[in-house]
Structure formats: structure tokens, C-alpha cells
């Protein structure tokens, strides 16, 4: 292990990420403990330039942000072939580790965490900064349940002219938005979708879009309709089904248009729930390492080894055609065709009635105000017979009148 990075004295290694190592260190000038994130630049020249550029891009983007739900950046530098960022040292745990402790988190805690992340993202979006990789391993939970968003490692200024290489998709497959999957231009609504995926996973313990390879996950992200969370977890209130559906809308115009409204709805829902007495375990566990999220296999196993059924309810009515799937295959450098991609999916066939019912709920949600209130549904089976009986009465009256007219005329 290295002992010095610039002026910083390295204390210990905290973990490893996709692009480098994270250390605990000390700034001797002001006697402050910091976290140092590094990236090894000992690569081929073209890779070195790309990675170094993205690394400093992270520092420039995140260094502008000053918000209680975003990790604070103190400094950036370079020592030999190692570039580094000095940032706030957090005493807590990654949300991914907390989720892996066993059992679902209380719904009110889930709403607290997600609302804080939405608030932090809302602030970043005001500066035209998009995170692009919102997921549980990039969220830290510290003392008193405060949440910090970390790793703006692939964040870019929305107005930047920098473009990624052709076919290069930034983000973690499980949490990518449909527009991110398609390689299209994205805005803050992409982060909202990713946060919606994280919310669904916390509420149910299951990924809304799953598969045994990247292509299958992308295909589901574009087409699969997840089952309502309370069909998996009965503790989820009906209002939260609407919130999740709106965050996970395939079309950006049907989604929450800003993270501020998303946070407001989450807090409104939380305020209607009883508070849980359970305390989250945020004490750091010795030896914890920060690892990239793995691609899950279809049909997770529960503690008994039994396969959990897919949470998807079938395909969305709006499908971007077979050409979309072929573009995905090309982007990931595979030769799989549409049929073989479809075989990787584990989606039970939903009935037409189930799909229509879910579609009607999502359509109703898009017209709702920012702060939703419980909606009372009308049973359509009660309405249709009444309309039919009224129509029959009108027909009978018309026939009687017609008969009277005929008698008087003839």
C-alpha cells in the first residue's frame, strides 16, 4: 500500500472501485481526515487520456456541489501515474450493504432514503449536472440516517460538448433508463428513472428489470412492465404504487419531470405512514470493499434456494420495434438476434385484462398533481349494467310512443 499521495498521508485502504482504490488519509495542513479516491493512469495512451479526462471531469462536476446529501469534494491532484480526489470522509455504510443485511427495509426508511437522494439529485440538476449512475452502491448512509450521494465518476455537464465513443454506454445495466440503454441524449429524468429502479428494489428485494446477461436486462428495461410493489410487499401503500409507476415510466414525458417533485411525493407518502422503531445499522464493517454491482441472473434465489418468480407482468404496449433490440446487440458487440434475446427473458404471460388495468393506472397517474392523494376507484363492473339498463328503458319508451302515434294516425 502507498504511504503518500501529494500532501496527504495514507492511513489505510477502504475499498476498491471499478476505476481505482479508495483510501482513508490525513491532510496534515489542517489536521483533517479525508477519503482519497484514486485512479491508476498506467494505461495505454488513448485509454489514459480518456480515463484521466473522466476522472477530472468528476472532480470538476462534484466540486461545484454543496448540499447535505452530496459528498463534499475538497481537492484534486496527481502523484506520478495516480490521479486522486480528496473528499469528505464518511462514517457509514453503502446502501447496497445495508440492503444485503437480510430482510426488507421498513417502508418509511425506504422513503426517507429515496427522498434524500432525490433532493441531492434535484440540487445537482439545477447546475445541469446529471449523475448517470444512480444505484445503491453509490449511496452512503451515515449517522442519524443521513444519506450522501457519492461517485459522480461518470457525471457530465449536460451542456458539455464532450461525447462518448460510438456504442459506449455509461451506467450500470440494472439501473439504466430506456433512453440511456438506447444511447440517446439524456437529461435529469434519466436519473429519476434510475432512482425509481433503486426504490423498487428496496421495496421488494427484487430488481424490476432482470436477466442473465446485459442484453436481456436492456430488453426488459425497454419493454417489461414491473408488477406493482405491493403485489410483492403488502406493506407498500397503494399511493406508492403510483409513485413508482410514474418514476419508471418508459417515456420521459410521462415520468416525473424533476427530482424535486419526486422527493415531495415521497415525503407526502411517508408522512401518511406510521414510523418504524427499527434502526438501520450504519456502523462500518471492517473489511468492507466497494465493488461494482454485478449483473444478476434471472430469477433470484431466496434463502431456501428456491427461485423467486419474475416481477414483470409482460411487455409494454409501446414497443420500439425489433430494430431497437438489434441496436442493443450491436452496442454490446454480440451477434444475438431478436429471438435469442427474447428467450433469455423470464416474464410470465399477463392476461389482457391485467395489462389493461395496469396501463389505466399508469395513465391516471400521469394526470395527477405533484403531491398525490389516495384515489378511490369505481368498479367498472358496477357501472356497465346500469348504463345498459338505462338504454333498454329508453328503447322501450320510444317503442311505446311510436305505437301510440301509429294508433292515432290509422
> Do 313 and 166 sit in the same domain of this protein?
yes
Report yes or no on 190 lying in a domain. yes
* DSSP symbol at 62: H
> Do 68 and 204 sit in the same domain of this protein?
no
> Do 241 and 257 sit in the same domain of this protein?
yes
Report yes or no on 42 lying in a domain. yes
**SS3 of residue 405 by DSSP:** helix
Q: So what's the pLDDT on residue 171?
A: 61
> Do 229 and 119 sit in the same domain of this protein?
yes
Q: List the chain residues with pLDDT less than 70.
A: 17-19, 40-47, 58, 153-171, 285-396, 398-410
> Do 66 and 109 sit in the same domain of this protein?
no
Report yes or no on 260 lying in a domain. yes
Angle at 386 between CA 380 and CA 389, to 5 degrees: 140
Report yes or no on 177 lying in a domain. yes
Q: So what's the pLDDT on residue 357?
A: 53
Cβ–Cβ under 8 Å, residues 372 and 268: yes
> Do 204 and 164 sit in the same domain of this protein?
yes
Length in residues, the chain: 410
> Do 183 and 308 sit in the same domain of this protein?
yes
Final residue in a domain of this structure, among 63, 88, 113: 88
Report yes or no on 402 lying in a domain. no
| Ramachandran assignment for 80, one of left (phi > 0), alpha (psi -120 to 50 degrees), beta (any other) | left
What is the extent of the structural domain holding 167?
Answer: 93-366
Which helix (H) or strand (E) covers residue 107, if one does?
helix 107-126
Q: How far apart are CA 231 and CA 220, in angstroms?
A: 19
> Do 202 and 320 sit in the same domain of this protein?
yes
* CATH number of the CATH domain containing 283: 1.10.510.10
Q: So what's the pLDDT on residue 20?
A: 78
How many domains, the chain? 2
Report yes or no on 388 lying in a domain. no
Q: So what's the pLDDT on residue 374?
A: 36
Q: In Å, what is the CA distance from 154 to each residue of 48, 122, 354?
A: 15, 17, 39
Please pick, among 97, 108, 112, 133, the residue that the annotation labels catalytic: 133
Q: Catalytic residue at 339? A: no
Report yes or no on 284 lying in a domain. yes
Final residue in a domain of this structure, among 88, 108, 128: 88
Final residue in a domain of this structure, among 22, 53, 88: 88
pTM of the predicted model as reported, rounded to 2 decimal places: 0.69
> Do 195 and 264 sit in the same domain of this protein?
yes
Q: How far apart are CA 241 and CA 78, in angstroms?
A: 47
> Do 247 and 310 sit in the same domain of this protein?
yes
> Do 44 and 164 sit in the same domain of this protein?
no
Q: So what's the pLDDT on residue 313?
A: 39
Report yes or no on 401 lying in a domain. no
250: cell is 418508459
Q: What totals of helices (H) and strands (E) does the chain contain, helices first?
A: 12, 13
The pLDDT tens digits for 251-304 are 999 999 999 999 999 999 999 999 988 888 877 765 544 433 433 333 333 433
Q: Which of 99, 94, 92, 80 is nearest to 38 (CA)?
A: 80
> Do 172 and 119 sit in the same domain of this protein?
yes
174: cell is 440494472
* CATH number of the CATH domain containing 28: 3.30.200.20
Cβ–Cβ under 8 Å, residues 56 and 62: no
Q: So what's the pLDDT on residue 201?
A: 98
Amino acid at each position: 500500500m502507498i504511504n503518500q499521495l501529494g500532501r496527504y498521508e495514507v492511513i489505510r485502504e477502504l475499498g476498491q472501485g471499478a476505476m481505482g482504490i479508495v483510501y482513508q488519509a490525513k491532510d496534515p495542513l489542517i489536521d483533517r481526515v479525508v477519503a482519497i479516491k484514486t485512479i491508476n493512469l498506467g494505461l495505454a495512451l488513448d485509454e489514459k487520456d480518456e480515463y484521466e479526462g473522466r476522472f477530472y471531469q468528476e472532480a470538476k462536476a462534484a466540486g461545484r456541489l454543496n448540499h447535505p446529501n452530496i459528498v463534499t469534494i475538497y481537492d484534486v491532484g496527481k502523484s506520478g501515474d495516480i490521479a486522486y480526489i480528496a473528499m469528505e470522509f464518511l462514517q457509514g455504510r453503502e446502501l447496497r450493504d445495508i440492503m444485503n443485511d437480510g430482510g426488507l427495509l421498513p417502508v418509511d426508511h425506504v422513503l426517507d432514503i429515496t427522498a434524500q437522494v432525490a433532493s441531492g439529485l434535484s440540487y445537482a440538476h439545477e447546475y445541469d449536472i446529471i449523475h448517470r449512475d444512480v444505484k445503491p452502491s453509490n449511496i452512503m448512509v451515515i449517522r442519524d440516517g443521513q444519506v450522501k450521494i457519492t461517485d459522480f465518476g461518470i457525471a457530465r455537464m449536460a451542456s458539455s460538448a464532450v461525447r462518448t465513443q460510438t456504442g459506449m454506454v455509461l451506467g450500470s445495466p440494472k439501473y439504466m433508463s430506456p433512453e440511456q440503454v438506447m444511447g440517446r441524449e439524456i437529461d435529469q429524468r434519466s436519473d429519476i428513472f434510475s432512482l425509481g429502479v433503486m426504490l423498487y428494489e428496496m421495496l421488494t428485494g427484487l430488481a424490476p428489470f432482470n436477466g442473465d446477461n446485459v442484453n436481456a436486462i436492456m430488453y426488459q428495461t425497454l419493454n417489461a412492465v414491473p408488477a406493482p410493489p405491493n403485489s410483492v410487499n403488502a406493506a407498500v401503500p397503494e399511493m406508492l404504487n403510483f409513485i413508482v409507476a410514474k418514476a419508471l415510466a418508459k417515456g420521459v414525458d410521462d415520468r416525473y419531470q424533476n427530482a424535486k417533485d419526486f422527493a415531495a411525493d415521497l415525503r407526502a407518502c411517508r408522512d401518511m405512514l406510521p414510523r418504524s422503531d427499527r434502526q438501520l445499522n450504519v456502523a462500518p464493517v471492517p473489511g468492507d470493499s466497494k465493488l461494482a454491482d454485478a449483473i444478476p441472473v434471472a430469477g433470484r434465489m431466496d434463502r431456501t434456494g428456491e427461485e423467486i418468480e419474475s416481477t414483470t407482468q409482460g411487455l409494454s404496449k409501446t414497443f420500439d420495434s425489433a430494430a431497437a433490440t438489434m441496436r442493443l446487440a450491436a452496442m454490446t458487440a454480440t451477434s444475438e438476434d431478436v429471438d435469442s434475446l427474447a428467450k433469455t427473458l423470464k416474464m410470465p404471460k399477463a392476461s389482457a385484462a391485467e395489462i389493461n388495468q395496469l396501463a389505466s393506472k399508469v395513465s391516471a397517474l400521469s394526470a395527477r398533481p405533484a403531491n398525490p392523494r389516495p384515489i378511490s376507484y369505481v368498479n367498472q363492473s358496477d357501472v356497465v349494467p346500469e348504463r345498459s339498463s338505462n338504454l333498454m328503458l329508453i328503447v322501450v319508451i320510444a317503442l311505446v310512443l311510436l305505437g301510440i302515434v301509429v294508433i292515432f294516425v290509422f
